[in-house]
Amino acid sequence: MEALLTTARSWSSQDPDDETRAELDTLVSSAASGDAAAADSLRERFSGRLTFGTAGLRAELGAGPQRMNRVVVTQAAAGLARFLIDTGRDRSVVIGYDGRVNSDVFARDSAEVMRGLGLEVTLLPSALPTPVLAFAVRHLGVGAGVMVTASHNPPRDNGYKVYLGGEDDGSQIVPPVDGEIAAAIDVVAAGDVRELARATDYTVAGDALVQAYVDATAATVPAPSLPVDAQPTVVYTAMHGVGWETARAVFAAAGFAEPAVVPEQIEPDGAFPTVSFPNPEEPGAMDLAIARGVAVGADLVIANDPDADRLALAIPDGSGSFRRLSGNEVGWLLGWRAAARAEEAGTGGTLAASIVSSPALARVAEHHGLAYRDTLTGFKWVSRVPDLVFGYEEALGYLVDPAVVRDKDGISAALALLDLAVSLAAAGKTIADELDAFAVRFGAFASGQVATRVDDLSRIGEVMAALRAAAPTTLGGRTVSQVTDYADGVEGFPPSDILRYDLDGGARVIVRPSGTEPKVKVYIDTVAQSPAEAQALVDALAADVRPLVS
């Protein structure tokens, strides 16, 4: 215990944040006095350090190397700077931040430390969406970009996402670069952050950079075919995030009517007072937006997550309320739109989706004469597909114009949906009609998920091992025709802890550990003659799969 207390006191001495320093000092004092809970908390916080991976950093705010705080962020900033210098990359970086607690503080710390190490540093002028930062990496031609955000994580979380310029073309980092940056951070972490040089003569970007994003995004759609007073009625929520002002400017620049907003959620608020989990996928997260949609008689309800890189959509359900479309349904619609435009323009290209997303997009690509690629989960992989026309992940991430942003972008995706909705309205149709037309053209697809949360992480390995030892031969009344274990290496993919079961009739089940939560996740995809038949098969497969992963 004495060694742990010494380590904690040393950490506290270099922490520039009064709140986390006081938090740690209280834990140290209580643990030294025999408080078992305080001692356990210290052990957990100092059991290692946050792992810097392909998602960068993400964790709960708090003191110690297993939390997000100013010491951890300073170490990460210095390590990233050292990586850029040591690998001969462009010694320039642009830094953005969202409206979460301490995002602005972490961004300024990063700017000062990186500038102190000699990098050319540009800080975005205010709390802005992640897509603006991703755009800025390419627009400014810098070596790297940092976005301080925890995206749609719980309110007390924050994070640190890294993009690379140059040959990486503004995409998020992938292996082995993440490991190289992590190694550089470890070197910094062996010292004291108070010894790092800091400088404040970095550049703060002007409004022209944000306007460049607005103009480039607005230009991704044609002028609306209906005047603003004849366009569908739309409700928008920023979910207490930073999406609204930028989205509003983009919609206006492109000629679309301004949506009605959810006033309780429209301004950035790191406390997220109306949602316990600010993720549009979570049950209840869109309740206020849907209530607003009912009140104004909306044709569409759209939601960005707090950093506006994801998009959710709800449409009238015919009974006076709304139903939220799945990420796959939105992906089908946007992919079909993109493929039709590419075919009409004669440009060719590739559609792409992560392997846990619906196989429907492959049919769209085939119908329109385009190539198709599956990728590993994570938009860092989708965005790197050559000749990409459109890419998506079922977790509400859509890349509608790779020439503007090489990452998922909830604002440009919202604009594409507005364009689609207006075009349909001009022809007397709705988004629901387009979903029906999709089923007629490509087949009735349906998807679902089963997730098992574990208290002991070793249980995840046990579940995957059991499935490998005894693969099911039937699921949902269908024969398992093929089992693919991505751990063995599959062409085009690095070895991964993923199991795929292809069933007679075109259904598919994929099992993998979650990359961000203590869960085993199962993704179910079916196709049938009717939506009801496809959904019934999803339900039957879910019933059979659930005990296998429990």
- Choose the catalytic residue: 41, 103, 151, 358: 151
Is 151 known to be catalytic?
A: yes
Which residue's structure tokens are 């292996």? 175
Supply φ then ψ for residue 139, to 5 degrees: -65, -40
Question: If residue 343 lies in a helix (H) or strand (E), which one and from where to where?
Answer: helix 327-345
Distance separating alpha carbons of residues 119 and 80, to the nearest angstrom: 11
- Cα separations in angstroms, 44 against 63, 156, 159: 11, 17, 19
Integer CA distances (angstroms), 432 to 208, 230, 256, 314, 325, in order: 38, 19, 20, 10, 10
In whole angstroms, give the CA distance from residue 243 to residue 250. 11
- Look at residues 381, 379, 385 and name the one whose alpha carbon lies nearest to residue 398: 379
Residue type, 64: G
3-state secondary structure of 341: helix
Q: What kind and span of H or E run contains 511? A: strand 508-513
Contacts of 403 (CB under 8 A, 6+ apart): none
Quick one: which of 447, 437, 153 has its CA closest to 282?
153
CA atoms of 509 and 142, how far apart (whole Å): 41
Is the bond preceding 232 in cis, omega lying within 30 degrees of 0? no
Q: Which residues does the annotation mark as catalytic? A: 151
